[in-house]
Structure 1
Amino acid sequence: MTFEEIYSSIKKQEYAPIYFLMGEESFYIDKITDYILENALPEAERDFNQSIFYGKDADIANIIDTARRFPMMASRQLVVVKEAQHLKNIELLDSYIKNPLQSTILVINYKYKSLDKRKAFTKNIAQLGILFESKKIYENQLPDWITKYTNGLKLKIDTKASILLSEFLGNDLNKISNELDKLSINIPQGNTITADDIEKNIGISKDFNNFELQNALGKKDVLKANQIINYFSTNEKKHPIYVTIALLHSYFSKILKFHFLKNKTNDNSVASALGINPFFVKDYKSAAKLYHPKKLVSIINLLREYDLKSKGIGNVSSKNGDLLKELIFKTLH
């Protein structure tokens, strides 16, 4: 089942006897678990009918014994196992999985990794309960995810604001959702979150960031690029060079890839091939006109060289701010 399907069913109080929630992205695992904890049992019933275990300290036999216990003066009980990835011999739960108690809701949080789907244990969970894999979201999917989440808060968000958030916070959905939740307190429903709102409330500069540096380089805007890297050099902790280099490596690699695409006319096809939002295809097309493949290969090699220098390899005394200035100069000239 998808997250949306699971969330819809538990909102209707339609609970399965087993929820095995696994995968690299903790956001959806926490979301499902928190909702079940808050809604499966009335508050008055929780003292006697709600049990929470933690993988590092829990014992499989104790979990099974608790799950097989009948609820006390209630229609069901809730058993939650957090950090189940630390449980020893988790497959010993199979004896319970094969014959679950229908009056128990067993929720197992197995974060940052997944079970082997070929094993009988995993197949039994999928057959007799809910097996959900929460996969890490790709960076190019973040702006759309942010837009969707913002819509759920009855707000809108413009493209630049969503790009700023995704660039600054990466693909950590918990951090992004927390920031958007805070913004929703200060911005009236129905309004649009702008880059100005992001700068004012979260502290991300709308003019001096890696996204704007990428744009400046894509247009060979020497003045703007230098303004940004000068700002970065005075705020090295806030703008670490390794993050800038990684993003620029990805950017210039995509421009190089664009040169060798068979279909360059269809924006959706280009966006899919490059792993970007269709909104930005025009920018990549413009950049490709200014950077021929040979120059792009040279830039990618430069980025690798300066990544090593920033880590002290082949560099004794240069500060990261100076390295970045050198790198951008060589990229533009």
Structure 2
Amino acid sequence: MKDFKSILADLDQGKFSPIYFLVGEKETFFVDLIANKIEQTVLSEEEKAFNQSILYGKDVSIEDVIGQAKQYPMMAEHRVVIVREAQELMKTIESLSSYVEQPQQSTILVFCVKYKKMDGRLKVTKLLKKDAIYFETKPLYDNQVPQWISETLSASGYSIAPKASEMLVEFLGNNLSLIYKELEKLQYVIPRSTKITPELIEENIGISKDFNSFELNKAIGIKDEVKAQQIVSYFAQNPKHHPLPLTIATLNSFFNKLLRYHALKDKSQYSASKTLGVSPYFVKDYSFAAQKYSMKKSSQAIALIREVDMKSKGVKANQISSGDLLKELLVKLMR
């Protein structure tokens, strides 16, 4: 089973398969990316009028799809048939088996299956994995997204600072579609070969380079109470972009990783980065924090964070605001 990079590389080189079966049970970005690449690049605009069909699973049957796929191209080398929302055809997907065994070589047939998983026991699934380009995308974990951002930008001639990548992940999560759209905006306004910095992210996307969870972790780690309180106040004024549950989760993650850092025998940048699942750029934050928080204090910090989490949900608390809860937590953590 090929990965998306290999598939895209083959498409760029004009190496096409008669069938692409793209499955995204939880992450659909790569399904759309590959399908859109085929839709936009295989045929010229003139050829598309007679040789490209975009079908929707809820409107057609497998027989309709096969009928379209068996047609010959007109004044073009290929015919392209893309079936979007193909998950709607899963009840009758076994009927595709005979076509998979003998596909029309001049047709590029693309199935886009979203939010469903193929049954590996089916004959058609086994045939697709054996004779077609079968691609099943898996969601990236948050700590894998910065690397993906870097690789995506590198392919377009850009580079990005580690902190800038982390800012995007904090603001947009691991929603690759949203991140990709923001990267496209950046590439539209920033010249190629530019290194994308936190300042450029702040200027063009509106994410603060100074008031974010990573800066809060850093301030807490070095016990800079003034800076930490400034960031918390900013969060309280911007609850939409900095909801309390997300801040609590980030702080909890920071101190859990700090505990793991304490336990490391090899605290070199590369080893610690790999074990903690963070960019090498952020290892120094854990090194500094380890000097301020022992393993015992790190464990106590986690207990305090969990206590605030419970209070935020109404347990043993009388409608305390998010900002006040965080300010109370900072005092307990850093004094």
Match of 2:236 in 1: 233
| Aligned CA distance change for structure 1 residues 119 and 273 (closer, same or farther; 3 Å) | farther
Name the CA distance, whole Å, in 2 between partners of 1:324 and 1:30: 40
1:307 and 2:309 correspond: yes
Asked if 1:176 corresponds to 2:179, the answer is: yes
Alignment of 1:311-330 (within 5 A): 311-330=313-332
Q: Which residue of 2 aligns with 1:246?
A: 249
The superposition leaves residues 228-271 of structure 1 with CA deviations (integer Å, 9 ceiling, x where unpaired) of 0011111112211111111111111111122223x323332222
Alpha-carbon contact 1:236-1:321 (below 8 Å) kept: no
Partner of 1:215: 218
- The aligned counterpart of 2:9 is 8
Count residues in correspondence: 332
Aligned residue in 2 for 1:96:
99
8 Å Cα contact 2:22-2:113 kept in structure 1: yes
CA–CA separation in structure 2 for the residues paired with 1:191 and 1:106:
38
Asked whether the equivalents of residues 258 and 264 of structure 1 are also in contact (C-alpha less than 8 Å), the reply is no
What CA distance in whole angstroms lies between the structure 1 residues aligned with 2:52 and 2:60? 15
Could you state the TM-score of these two structures normalised by the residue count of structure 2?
0.91
Which structure 1 residue ranges, 4+ long, deviate > 4 Å from structure 2? Answer: 116-119
Q: What do residues 139-171 of structure 1 show as CA deviations (whole Å, max 9, x unaligned)?
A: 222222222222233222222222212221122
Query: Is the 2:51–2:79 contact (alpha carbons within 8 Å) kept by the matching residues of 1?
Result: yes
Q: Which residue of 2 aligns with 1:81?
A: 83
Which residues of structure 1 form unaligned runs of 5+? none
Which amino acid in 1 is paired with 2:51? N
Match of 2:168 in 1: 165
In 2: Cα distance, 1:111 partner to 1:307 partner? 34
Mapped to 2, the partners of 1:171 and 1:32 lie a distance apart of: 19
**SS of residue in 1 equivalent to 2:108:** strand
**2:187 is equivalent to residue 154 of structure 1:** no
Secondary structure of the residue aligned to 1:13 is coil
Q: CA deviation at 1:117?
A: 4.2
Partner letter of residue 272 of structure 1?
A: K
Higher mean alpha-carbon deviation, 133-142 vs 33-42, is at 133-142
Whole-Å separation in 1 of the counterparts to 2:190 and 2:74: 45
- Taking the TM superposition and a 5 Å limit, the aligned residue runs for 1:1-333 are 1-23=2-24, 24-89=26-91, 90-117=93-120, 119-261=122-264, 263-333=265-335
- Once the two structures are TM-superposed, the CA of residue 72 in structure 1 deviates from its matched residue by 3.8
Q: Is the 8 A contact 1:169 1:176 kept in 2?
A: yes
State the alpha-carbon separation in 2 of the partners of residues 105 and 34 from structure 1: 13
In the aligned structure 2, how far is the partner of 1:231 from the partner of 1:77?
A: 55
Contact 2:94-2:123 at 8 Å conserved across structures = no
Structure 1 residues 151 and 34: alpha-carbon distance in aligned structure 2, compared to 1, 3 A threshold: same
Root mean square deviation of aligned Cα: 2.1
> SS of the residue aligned with 1:204?
coil
Give CA-to-partner distance per residue, 1:8-60, whole Å, 9 cap, x none.
Answer: 11112221011111233322222211111012222223233222222333322
- Amino acid of the structure 2 residue aligned with 1:64: I
Identity %: 47
* 1:32 maps to amino acid: I
